[in-house]
Amino acid sequence: MRVLKRSAASPPEGPAGPDQAGTDREGRLERARSRVGSVKGRLARRRAAAVAWRARLPDLTGPVARAWHRLPRWSQWLVRLGIIVLAVLAPADWVGQIMAPASDWKTLLFYPIGIFVLLAVGLNVVVGQAGILDLGYVAFFAIGGYTMALLGVNVGLDFWIILPTAVALCAVSGLVLGTPALRLRGDYLAIVTLGFGEIIRISATNASWTGGPRGIAGIPHPPDIGNLNAFTYGVLDPTPYYYLVLALIVVVIFVARRLERSRVGRAWAAIREDEDAAALMGVPTFRFKLWAFAIGGSIGGGAGVMFSAKNIAITPDNFPLLLSILVLSAVVLGGSGNLPGVILGAFLVAWLPERFRGLADYRVLIFGAALVIMMIFRPEGLLPSRRRRSSLRTGTGAGAAPTAVVEQEEKT
């Protein structure tokens, strides 16, 4: 009876009042904030430790770059001329015995090495100079390849007419893709470009006028230039095609270097560093990003024409997503934004798997492990630009205001 009376005397328990519920909610939010703050603190400490650790690594590219800039202009041109001479002598048999004893070295010089260098220089305009992440760059390569196939087989046009036509068509394709896509940023833009690359490949697979999955065969070769064996284009000897793609690489590098030092290149640098700050400074960011897409796409189209002219036949399987990823890896590995680094990265990405072909399935594993180790120990790339090297060694990102001031365009 006493227990019952005590229970009856005690007030009934009801739901918590609004003040108590608000207090509990604030307590939970405070504990969540505390956990997030501790995690951010640990990440910041680890990042600071990683930056300090990388700063202690020997900087081998800095002294080389300083020595290069101290050379007189005529000495720099002699070095460039020497590199071109070495590239001309590259198809020699003794070079192939050293570089790729288990593969056809002359064929490798054209594809994948030559084509990869051409694609990497074109993608560097988009990714390295303008700071736009493009995961579907293989689409322009495919458009150029199919333009060569369709106009060469069905229309019978000459190679030297098809090449500028494909370059112009890919530039227009870059404008068509960029007009809606470049209004997005970051991951959203990357997903759109990825989808564009897959749409081109799937369309080529399903369309009847592209030959479907069987592709197009009987693509004509470029016309011979004189009676020289080095410029006689056939099926067996890949050396003339290598010299042709080498000449195109030299032209593209010259154009890319001139663009980098021009007003357009300074605008791209400003957009890459901070697009919002560049827009506030009067840079027409959308227009310059469209130019980057068009110029980069045109270079990819030229590479596609070269590829189709050598292979005689193309199929949609020649343009997989993996090719875009490999070219992007070459740009990042060599040093995004720095032309010598991009060329070196493309050469290594194309050559290393063939150099270790004798290891069968393990060569891909070794290549992947080398890329991972490279990104850990040297994330700025093998030959990074001075801006990229200093930002990663000091821990400063690209969030600061752009250092290049671009004059505001006159409104028409």
Tokens 């590995």: give the residue: 333
**Would you say residue 408 has pLDDT above 60?**
no
Could you tell me what percent of the chain has a pLDDT over 70?
Answer: 82
Tell me how far CA of residue 270 lies from CA of 106, 253, 262, 338, in angstroms: 41, 21, 13, 16
Q: Is residue 136 pLDDT above 50, yes or no?
A: yes
- pLDDT, average across residues 130-137: 93
177, two tokens:
């893709």
351 domain-assigned: yes
pLDDT > 60? residue 285: yes
Burial 331-356 (b: 16+ CB within 10 A, else e): bbbbbbbbbbbbbbbbbbbbbebbbb
Residue from 120, 112, 173 nearest 142 by CA: 173
> What is the SS3 assignment for 173?
helix
Whether the per-residue pLDDT at 139 is higher than 90: the answer is yes
Q: What is the amino acid identity at position 32? A: A
CA–CA gap between residue 270 and residue 101 (Å, rounded): 45
Q: Tell whether the model's pLDDT for residue 400 goes beyond 70.
A: no
- Arithmetic mean of pLDDT, 243-249: 94
CATH number at residue 304: 1.10.3470
More confident call, 149 vs 186: 149
Does residue 249 form part of some domain? Answer: yes
In a domain, 71, yes or no: no
Average predicted confidence (pLDDT) for the chain: 83
Gap between the Cα atoms of 219 and 60, Å rounded: 46
What integer pLDDT is reported at residue 8 of this predicted model?
A: 46
Nearest CA to 48 out of 394, 381, 391 is that of: 394
Backbone angles phi, psi at 208, to 5 degrees: -80, -35
Task: Give me 185's structure tokens.
Answer: 């940023």
* Preceding amide of 72 cis, omega within 30: no
Residues with Cβ within 8 Å of 114's Cβ and at least 6 positions away in sequence, in order, are 242, 245, 246, 249, 306
- Cβ burial of 286 (10 Å; 0-12, 13-18, 19+) is middle
Distance CA 94, CA 99 (A): 9
CA dist 351 and 112 (Å) reads 8
The answer to the question of residue 35 being in a domain is no
Q: Which helix or strand (DSSP H or E) is residue 353 part of?
A: helix 339-355
pLDDT of residue 412: 40
Task: Kindly state whether residue 12 falls inside one of the protein's structural domains.
Answer: no
Looking at residue 407, its pLDDT comes to 42
Question: What pLDDT is recorded for position 180?
Answer: 93
Residue 20: per-residue pLDDT: 64
227: which DSSP letter? T
141, 300 Cβ separation under 8 angstroms: yes
**CB count in 10 Å sphere of residue 134:** 34
Residues found in the chain: 412
- What the block records as the tokens of 180 is 């809606």
What pLDDT sits at residue 52? 60
The Cα-based distances of 379 to 278, 290, 335, 363 in angstroms read 26, 28, 9, 22
Min mean pLDDT across 111-125, 139-153, 214-228, 247-261 is at 214-228
Residue 61 falls inside a structural domain: no
pLDDT at 217 over 50: yes
* Single pTM value for the model: 0.80
pLDDT-derived band at 62 (thresholds 50, 70, 90) equals low
Number of folded domains in the chain? 1
* Position 22 confidence tier, pLDDT thresholds 50, 70, 90: low
C-alpha torsion sign, points 203, 209, 212, 218: negative
User: Where does the pLDDT of residue 103 fall: very low under 50, low under 70, confident under 90, or very high at 90 and above?
Assistant: confident
Q: What is the pLDDT of residue 294?
A: 96
**Average confidence (pLDDT) over 29-34:** 77
C-beta of residue 204 within 8 angstroms of C-beta of residue 331: no
**SS3 at position 134:** coil
Whether pLDDT at 181 is above 60:
yes
In this structure, is residue 400 part of a structural domain? no
| Predicted local confidence at residue 297, as pLDDT | 96
Q: What is the mean pLDDT of residues 400-411?
A: 40
Question: Is 389 within 8 Å of 61 (Cβ atoms)?
Answer: yes
Residue 385: inside a domain:
yes
pLDDT(196) > 90: yes
Q: Do residues 236 and 366 make contact, with C-beta atoms less than 8 angstroms apart?
A: no
Domain that holds residue 297: 79-394
Give the whole-number percent of the chain exceeding pLDDT 90. 50
